[in-house]
Structure 1
Amino acid sequence: MAEQKRTAIIEAATELFLEKGYDGTSLARIAESAGVSRATLFKQFSTKAALFDAIVTEYWRPEAGDGPEPAPGDLRAGLTAIGHRYVDLLTRPGMVALYRIVIAEVPRFPELGRAQFDLGKMPYFTSVRRYLESARDAGTARFDDADTAATQFLGMIADYVLWPRMLLVDWSPSRGSMERVVAEAVATMEARYGVRSDSQERTTGHQSAAE
């Protein structure tokens, strides 16, 4: 029952934050919308900031059905899987509105920006960096700075999928175009950081000799 009430509170708060903004939403209104008492709400979330933290964490949580993290032995397959998951996250309903709330409110409520960064962006970024480091350990990638490599990969995707939506209300790229962006980002990472296997080198050599 406590988990059901927590879910109801988060869902009601999310809807109200997206509709009325952070400053325009009160905890009392959230409790009313969620169908719980104020005492129940305060037992779950002592402040509005704590409730917003929970919403950010939920938005950035990869869906449970995504399956295990990709293995580091195939850089292209691993980065492709990660890229598609990132697209799915960035295009979740409400994600753009959440970003807009943070950007609009952060001058008065800097803790919102910190929550978006520390509880949302950074955990996902860390998972990508960890995969790249495992690929380096497996010998399928070579780079000096995993942070830079992860930033480059995610940036190539977000620059097309997310950031135009912040200013262009009619920006709605097709699934096919987003898949092409992921494929190009993967190809760029492979060209810059990928390590060719012996079998790939032999195949390339045979093709060159045939030509």
Structure 2
Amino acid sequence: MTANVSEYHRRVAAANRGSILAAASDLFLQDGYDRTSLARVAEAAGVSKATLFKQFPTKAALFEATVLAAGDSSPDELPQPPAGDLERGLVVLGLAYAEILGRPRIEALLRTIIAEAPRFPELRERTFDFGTLPVLSSLRAFLVAETSAGRASAAYPDTAAPQFLGMIATVVFWPRLVHGGSLTDDEIRRVVEEAAKTMVARYGR
């Protein structure tokens, strides 16, 4: 009975979290960080303020979770990199990352960070731990597996994985955020493939 009750509470908590993040995303994008209150988010999500505060004690913590949720993908949704082919596996995961960067809400929420952070120290202090995103976790695991099998030499996967994703974001995402416009699918693939070749030149064996 206790296990069933615990599972029920976990499902309720997960459902509440999803509702809160969806409502917060809408409000942050509609009204900005400044004019979005936790009370309004709770009302829009259909939960009590106590329920919201239990999961997100501050607005900055809620905003961080909203940004990370916008870039999240279920591990089941991510393509699996082929074992034994470092370059091809990097391309597979790199394209998945480029897809995340192309999501409209990711761009809009990061624009909000850039615009609002100078006025709100709590936003500047957030770490925005993108390492929790499944695509980065999958990339790190792939590099560890290839290194363990002797097909790569990434002794520091926590450094190598962000390096690869950084090469992609520098061309695919940040220029679009600052200057507007976007790359074609073929151009994005070329960026990812060149980044993968650079990684193979450095870490391949």
Instruction: Place the TM-score, normalised by the shorter chain, in its bin.
Output: 0.7 to 0.9
Structure 1 runs not aligned, ≥5 long? 196-211
The alpha-carbon deviation at position 113 of structure 1 amounts to 4.4
Q: Give SS of 1:61's match.
A: coil
Q: Cα 1:21–1:72, aligned 2, differ >3 Å: closer, same or farther?
A: same
Whether 2:196 is the aligned partner of 1:186: answer yes
| Corresponding residue for residue 205 of structure 1 | none
TM-score normalised over the length of structure 1: 0.75
Residues 1:107 and 2:113 aligned together: no
Which of 158, 166, 174 is the aligned partner of 1:163? Answer: 174
- Opposite residue 175 of structure 1, the aligned amino acid is D
Q: Determine if contact 2:23/2:45 at 8 Å carries over to the other structure.
A: yes
After the TM superposition, which residues 56-205 of structure 1 pair with which residues of structure 2 at under 5 Å, given as runs?
56-67=67-78, 69-115=80-126, 117-118=128-129, 121-124=130-133, 125=136, 127-143=138-154, 145-169=156-180, 171-195=181-205
CA contact (8 A) 1:135 1:141 kept: yes
Instruction: Supply the distance in 2 between the matched residues of 1:193 and 1:39 (Cα, whole angstroms).
Output: 49
**Which residue of structure 2 lines up, in the alignment, with residue 8 of structure 1?**
19
Structure 1 window deviating more from structure 2 (108-117 vs 129-138): it is 108-117
TM-score by length of 2: 0.77
Contact kept, 8 Å, 1:102 with 1:116, in 2: the verdict is no
Quote how far apart the aligned CAs of 1:87 are: 0.7
**CA distance in structure 2 between the aligned counterparts of 1:132 and 1:30, rounded to whole angstroms:** 40
Q: Which amino acid aligns with 2:117?
A: V
Residue pair 1:8, 1:34 contacting (<8 A) in 2 also: yes
Cα distance per residue 1:164-205 (max 9 Å; x no partner): 122123x1212221112111111222233222xxxxxxxxxx
CA deviation vs aligned residue, 1:18-50 (integer Å, no higher than 9, x gap): 222212211222233334444443455333233
For residues 127 and 105 of structure 1, the distance between their equivalents in structure 2, rounded to whole angstroms, comes to: 31
Q: In 2, distance between residues paired with 1:68 and 1:173?
A: 22
User: Which segment is superposed worse, 78-87 or 137-146?
Assistant: 137-146
Q: State the alpha-carbon separation in 1 of the partners of residues 60 and 146 from structure 2.
A: 37
The two structures, once aligned, show a CA RMSD in angstroms of 2.7
Deviation at 1:69, TM superposition (A): 4.5
Q: Secondary structure at the match of 2:84?
A: coil
Cα shift at 1:80:
1.3
Check whether the contact 1:56–1:116 (CA below 8 A) recurs between aligned residues. Answer: no
**Is the deviation greater in 99-108 or in 86-95?**
99-108
Determine the C-alpha separation between the residues in 1 that align with 2:20 and 2:155: 45
Deviation at 1:17, TM superposition (A): 0.8
- 12, 19, 24: which one aligns with 2:35: 24
- Does the 8 Å contact 1:12/1:33 carry over to 2? yes
- The answer on whether the counterparts of 2:68 and 2:128 sit within 8 Å (CA) in structure 1 is no
Cα deviation, residue 2, structure 1: 5.2
- For 2:197, the aligned partner's letter is A
Q: Matched residues in 2 for 1:21 and 1:80: separation?
A: 35
**Aligned pairs, number:** 192
Residue 141 and residue 27 in structure 1: after superposition, are their counterparts in 2 closer, same or farther (change >3 A)?
Answer: same
Larger CA Rg, structure 1 vs 2: 1
Q: Name the % identity.
A: 50
